[in-house]
Amino acid sequence: MAQVTLKGSPVPLEGNIPAAGDKAPEFKAVRQDLSEFGLKDYEGKVKILVAVPSLDTSVCAIETKVFNEKAANLNGISTLIISGDLPFAMKRFCSTEGIDSPNLVTGSQYRDFSFSKAYGTHIAGGPLKGLSARAVFVVDKNDVIRYVELVPEIGSEPNYAAALAAANAAL
């Protein structure tokens, strides 16, 4: 079981984080229109899977905006932002921030947490219990994981350049 920190305090995670070279686990998430999607819906594309606790936090908001700015217009790459937010809150956030690229999809795991549990980012204790730790996974066209970053401090941003380089290399 992995662990991250929140403002320096240990936060335990549930499950195992897949490694580069592993087959990406399937998951379910809910779009803003309440329809479900999973990894299989992006078959044949490179996927940047971005796990965040909530778009209502400043770091998650910044991260989503940066991925929208840097990755949403890259051909052949889909960026999937997965959080614990309800789809209505995600829709409001995207509308307010002008995020409307078809290549960037927000997904809620409020129905079953299958994403955070399958990817080992499910927070098992502490004040954010039940949400996801911050992580980025790049998955190639064959659904093999090519890049993994579990951000050690929940309040910190990921390494955007490394994730984008991995995504471009997987094209």
How far lies 7's CA from each of 4, 12, 115, in Å?
10, 14, 24
Strand partners, 79: 48, 104
The verdict on whether 94 is a catalytic residue reads no
3 state SS of 86: coil
DSSP per position, 22-36? SBPPP--EE-TTS-E
Q: Select which of 4, 17, 24, 60 is catalytic.
A: 60
Joined tokens for residue 32: 């803003």
Q: Which of 163, 111, 110, 158 is nearest to 134 (CA)?
A: 158
Beta carbons of 50 and 144 less than 8 angstroms apart? no
Element (H, E) at 77: strand 77-83
Q: Is 44 exposed, middle or buried (0-12, 13-18, 19+ CB in 10 A)?
A: exposed
Residue numbers annotated as active site: 60
